[in-house]
């Protein structure tokens, strides 16, 4: 069974489209840890935040919910 996301406590990498451009916002709970303009940079930051805080990381892209685990660091 896969662990379920806890958006209030886990790292979430969320795609946001503004003015026709994609931006990725990385947050841990309600704290924003940064925005990136490429998915590769966003994943790198999400991984660093997840490892630093011992929390799993999840991807929320334009397809919406459900959140997808970003392996290998998702528990």
pTM score of the predicted model: 0.82
Q: In the beta sheet, which residues pair with residue 25?
A: 14, 35
Ranges assigned E (strand) in the chain: 11-18, 21-28, 31-36, 57-60, 68-69
pLDDT by residue, tens only, the chain of 75 residues: 467 788 899 999 999 887 888 899 999 999 999 999 999 999 999 999 999 999 999 998 777 788 888 865 544
């Amino acid at each position: 069974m896969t662990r379920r996301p806890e958006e209030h406590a886990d790292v979430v990498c969320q795609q946001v489209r503004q003015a026709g451009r994609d931006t990725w916002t990385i947050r841990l709970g309600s704290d924003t840890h940064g925005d990136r303009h490429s998915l590769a940079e966003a994943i790198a930051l999400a991984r660093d935040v997840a490892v630093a805080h011992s929390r799993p990381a999840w991807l929320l892209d334009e397809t919406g919910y459900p959140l997808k685990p970003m392996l290998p660091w998702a528990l």
